[in-house]
Amino acid sequence: MTKPFIQIDDEVREMTDDELAAYEEQQANALAPLGE
């Protein structure tokens, strides 16, 4: 399964496992978006 893409300056690539874990933790702890 394709992992989410991360961009660092001009480089766009799939997240590493560590980056994905940090991203998922942040999303899980995020407040409900006001615009949803």
Paired tokens of 11: 């480089």
Please pick, from the candidates 1, 7, 17, 18, the single residue that binds other proteins as defined by CB under 8 A: 7
Please pick, from the candidates 15, 17, 18, 21, the single residue that binds other proteins as defined by CB under 8 A: 15
Beta strands in 1-36 (DSSP E): 5-8, 11-14
Paired tokens of 14: 């799939």
Task: Return the amino acid letter for 2.
Answer: T
Please pick, from the candidates 1, 17, 18, 27, the single residue that binds other proteins as defined by CB under 8 A: 27
Contact positions toward other proteins, by CB under 8 A? 4-10, 12, 15, 22-23, 25-27, 29-31, 33-36
